[in-house]
């Protein structure tokens, strides 16, 4: 009982302390408080994982994974839009770069670590190939519409969409994402359930309404402060990287990695518990939410406020993205995983980071 109380206090008090530190203005040009903010950031990530597990347990699957994925995406969208509104042309490609980094980290990092950890512990894990097919079909289409086609359209020079093309892209992405969520929660919900879910479906009532509300509120608080601290620490982080001769683009990868830590830890934890289906639901659902919600929202804001928006990727990122999606498809299409698939995806992740540093 004492352990539960201690965990409860730790996971609620630290996010509040982090919020006070962020809004106090002490992070400006103070390396001691910046280091403290970095430590609090990581602890808030752990707190977010704890609260997300309580929420997921209360509402049941697959709704729990959807709540976590959409929560992170909504906060990410808010940060991107605020920077675009204030930064102008300097942040024209910020949405594309952030989403691209997130997708690459999810496909190669989160799924790769999940398959590696699960394969190492259980040798072989099974999951529904039908759910994976639904997610990957939706992901391939959305990725193509948002980050590949703008590079090759001829109506306007450069990796841009015209206003009509932008409106089509918004509608197409939203239709695909809504169809996916409908399949996951209603029409084909059984495809996304673990083998033991039906046996434990009623246990979510063990979580009281009070605990559920507290965890839901603090989940949003944790996710918000994680994103805000990550953004505020990006400038000093960029200074450190440039002092070592590393490219600025590496900052985006690091920030995306920090933002995705709650989802990543939750997914890997599920794989360690032999619940790979939940792990894949979270990873692929996060990738779809990141693109299917972020890009249409940012595109709509760009259209309404006449903001510059670069969507199309260059050739090297397109190749790396294609390799990642193709590898994930081959790894998951059979409904059985092993450690080799995880190793290959992790190598893809290291190749992505290496080629970002050495293009």
Residue 1 pLDDT: 46
For residue 111, being part of any structural domain is answered with yes
Mean pLDDT for the stretch of residues 313-325: 94
Q: Which domain holds residue 344?
A: 92-194+245-357
Task: Check residues 264 and 321 and name the one with the higher pLDDT.
Answer: 321
Share of the chain above pLDDT 70, in %: 93
> Which of the four pLDDT bands, split at 50, 70 and 90, describes residue 49?
confident
Per-residue pLDDT of 129-177, as tens digits, reads 999 999 999 999 999 999 999 999 988 888 999 999 999 999 999 999 9
Residue 277 vs residues 58, 131, 298: alpha-carbon distances, Å:
18, 9, 31
Mean pLDDT for the stretch of residues 339-358: 94
Residue 338 pLDDT: 92
- Dihedral over alpha carbons 63, 65, 68, 70 (to 10 degrees): -70
Domain count, the chain: 1
For residue 308, being part of any structural domain is answered with yes
| Rounded Cα–Cα distance for residues 37 and 43 (Å) | 10
Sequence-ordered list of residues with C-beta below 8 angstroms from that of 151, at least 6 positions apart, any chain: 159, 312, 313, 314, 318
**E strand or H helix that includes residue 173:** helix 163-182
* Listed residue (172, 82, 155, 104) closest to 318, CA to CA: 104
| Rounded Cα–Cα distance for residues 40 and 265 (Å) | 17
Residue 195 pLDDT: 61
| Rounded Cα–Cα distance for residues 132 and 187 (Å) | 15
DSSP 96-160: HHHHHHHHHIIIIIIHHHHHHHHHHHHS-EE--HHHHHHHHHHHHHHHIIIIIHHHH--SSSSS-
DSSP SS3 for 337: strand
Q: What mean pLDDT, rounded, does the chain reach?
A: 85
Mean pLDDT for the stretch of residues 32-38: 88
Per-residue pLDDT of 187-220, as tens digits, reads 888 888 876 554 444 445 577 888 888 888 888 8
Residue 7 pLDDT: 54
- The CATH number of whichever domain residue 135 belongs to comes to 1.20.1420.30
For residue 54, being part of any structural domain is answered with no
* Listed residue (140, 172, 167, 148) closest to 96, CA to CA: 148
Structure tokens at 326: 């193709």
Residue 196 pLDDT: 56
| Rounded Cα–Cα distance for residues 303 and 296 (Å) | 10
For residue 327, being part of any structural domain is answered with yes
For residue 271, being part of any structural domain is answered with yes
Whether the pLDDT of residue 340 is over 90: the answer is: yes
Per-residue pLDDT of 55-114, as tens digits, reads 877 877 677 777 777 777 777 777 777 777 776 777 788 888 888 998 999 999 999 999
For residue 30, being part of any structural domain is answered with no
Among 46-50, 141-145, 352-356, name the one with the lowest average pLDDT: 46-50
For residue 290, being part of any structural domain is answered with yes
């Amino acid at each position: 009982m004492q352990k539960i109380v201690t965990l409860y206090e730790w996971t609620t008090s630290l996010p509040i302390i982090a919020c006070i530190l962020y809004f106090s203005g002490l992070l400006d040009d103070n390396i001691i408080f910046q280091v403290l903010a970095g430590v609090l950031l990581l602890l808030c990530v752990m707190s977010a994982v704890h609260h997300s597990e309580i929420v997921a347990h209360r509402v049941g699957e697959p709704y729990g994974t959807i709540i976590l994925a959409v929560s992170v995406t909504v906060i990410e969208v808010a940060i991107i839009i605020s920077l675009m509104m204030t930064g102008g042309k300097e942040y024209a490609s910020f949405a594309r770069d952030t989403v691209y980094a997130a997708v690459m980290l999810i496909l190669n990092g989160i799924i790769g670590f999940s398959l590696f950890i699960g394969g190492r512990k259980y040798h072989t894990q099974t999951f529904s190939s039908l759910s994976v097919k639904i997610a990957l079909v939706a992901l391939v289409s959305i990725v193509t519409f948002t980050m590949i086609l703008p590079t090759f359209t001829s109506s306007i020079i450069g990796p841009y969409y015209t206003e009509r093309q932008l409106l089509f892209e918004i509608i197409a992405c939203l239709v695909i994402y809504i169809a996916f969520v409908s399949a996951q929660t209603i029409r084909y919900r059984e495809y996304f359930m673990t083998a033991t879910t039906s046996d434990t479906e009623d246990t979510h009532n063990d979580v009281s309404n009070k605990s559920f509300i507290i965890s839901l509120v603090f989940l949003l608080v944790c996710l918000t402060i994680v994103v805000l601290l990550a953004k505020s620490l990006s400038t000093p982080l960029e200074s450190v990287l440039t002092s070592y001769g590393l490219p600025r683009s590496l900052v985006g990868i690091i920030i995306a990695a920090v933002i995705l830590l709650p989802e990543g830890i939750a997914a890997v934890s599920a794989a360690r518990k032999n619940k790979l289906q939940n792990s894949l639901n979270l990873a692929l659902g996060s990738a779809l939410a990141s693109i299917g919600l972020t890009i249409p929202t940012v595109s709509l804001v760009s259209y309404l406020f006449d903001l510059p928006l670069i969507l199309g990727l260059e050739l090297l990122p397109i190749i790396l993205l294609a390799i990642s999606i193709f590898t994930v498809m081959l790894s998951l299409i059979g409904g059985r995983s092993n450690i080799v698939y995880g190793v290959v995806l992790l190598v893809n992740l290291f190749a992505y980071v290496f080629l970002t540093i050495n293009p």
